[in-house]
């Protein structure tokens, strides 16, 4: 049986201030291939190049990656400000309808960091432009200096709902995660259920109520050290199992059946 094709949402970059590219971090590709057991397929997230229908026909599951650019606030009914940072509206134009279509069809989807925020916005939710500016909240941004090991180090606990989806999937109510984001969920979207929180109350894990297939997202970056991390590995393994079942023509598979 062939490996399931895992579509991995790319981000736009400019190399040497002059050469535009679409790219995906190697750690996302390795997590998709080595842990989820799929064939990673880099997606140029731009509606001028691809369509949602084409992507869903080609791919068996999708990973919505992190990225420097944020979801444009007009997607959730707010005007842009300096606090919202940079945007990638071409990516928004692909990922937001892709999320809704995958959830409806039951096609597996896993959101990471920006992908976590995209899933919330796609279902009508809103975002805080800067978590660290909220009273009582911590700074969740990537440390500006240090090695990758230091920047992606485990920095805080995430506590899951007792008996909830993540508790059952990962086998623990409290786990340690990294944290490398500026924005975060404000109002959860329709059917978005927050299933895990950081100590300061920031939403860290969500699932989609009554979704026919695998539809989970986390605010941290589980792709880092995914093969060896006890939290990341079962998350990617369950996603990969759902994608294999989809590739085999078995249709939507619930989150816990994939674990």
232/216 Cα distance (integer angstroms): 13
Whole-Å CA distances, 213 to 61, 85, 115, 161, 178: 10, 33, 17, 20, 27
Cβ–Cβ < 8 Å for 165, 257: no
Calculate ∠ Cα 230-240-9, nearest 5°: 100
Helix (H) or strand (E) holding 91: helix 89-105
Whole-Å CA distances, 115 to 6, 15, 78, 245: 15, 23, 19, 23
Average pLDDT of every residue of the chain: 94
Least confident of 36-40, 46-50, 56-60, 137-141: 137-141
Better-predicted residue by pLDDT, 133 or 188 = 188
| Active site (catalytic) residues | 113, 221, 223
78/113 Cα distance (integer angstroms): 20
Q: What is the structure's pLDDT at 250?
A: 79
111/195 Cα distance (integer angstroms): 14
Residue 172 has pLDDT above 70, yes or no: yes
Better-predicted residue by pLDDT, 153 or 5 = 5
93-151 tens-digit pLDDT: 999 999 999 999 999 999 999 999 999 999 999 999 988 888 989 888 888 888 889 88
From the list 257, 177, 248, 226, the residue with the least C-alpha distance to 63 is: 226
Give percent of the chain above pLDDT 70: 97
Which residues neighbour 18 within 8 Å (Cβ) at sequence distance 6 or greater? none
Q: What is the structure's pLDDT at 256?
A: 63
- pLDDT interval class at 257 (50, 70, 90): low
Residue 83 has pLDDT above 90, yes or no: no
Query: Token pair for residue 72?
Result: 């444009």
């Amino acid at each position: 049986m062939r490996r399931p094709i895992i579509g991995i949402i790319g981000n736009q970059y400019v190399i040497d201030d002059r050469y535009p590219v679409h790219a995906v971090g190697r750690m996302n590709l390795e997590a998709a291939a080595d842990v989820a057991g799929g064939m990673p397929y880099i997606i140029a997230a731009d509606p001028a190049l691809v369509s949602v229908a084409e992507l869903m026909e080609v791919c068996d599951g999708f990973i919505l990656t992190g990225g420097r650019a944020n979801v444009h606030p007009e997607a959730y009914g707010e005007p842009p400000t300096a606090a919202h940072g940079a945007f990638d509206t071409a990516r928004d134009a692909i990922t937001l309808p892709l999320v809704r279509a995958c959830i409806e069809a039951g096609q597996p989807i896993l959101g990471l960091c920006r992908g976590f925020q995209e899933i919330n916005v796609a279902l009508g939710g809103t975002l805080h432009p800067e978590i660290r500016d909220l009273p009582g909240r911590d700074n969740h941004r990537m440390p500006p200096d240090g090695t990758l090991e230091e920047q992606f180090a485990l920095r805080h606990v995430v506590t899951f709902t007792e008996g909830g989806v993540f508790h059952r999937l990962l086998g623990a109510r409290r786990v340690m995660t990294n944290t490398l984001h500026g924005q975060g969920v404000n109002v959860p979207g329709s059917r978005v259920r927050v299933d895990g929180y950081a100590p300061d109350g920031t939403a860290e894990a969500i699932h989609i109520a009554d979704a026919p297939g695998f539809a989970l997202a986390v605010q941290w970056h589980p792709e880092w050290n995914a093969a060896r991390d006890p939290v990341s590995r079962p998350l990617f393994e369950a996603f990969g199992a759902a994608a294999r079942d989809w590739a085999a023509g078995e249709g939507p598979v619930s989150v816990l059946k994939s674990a």
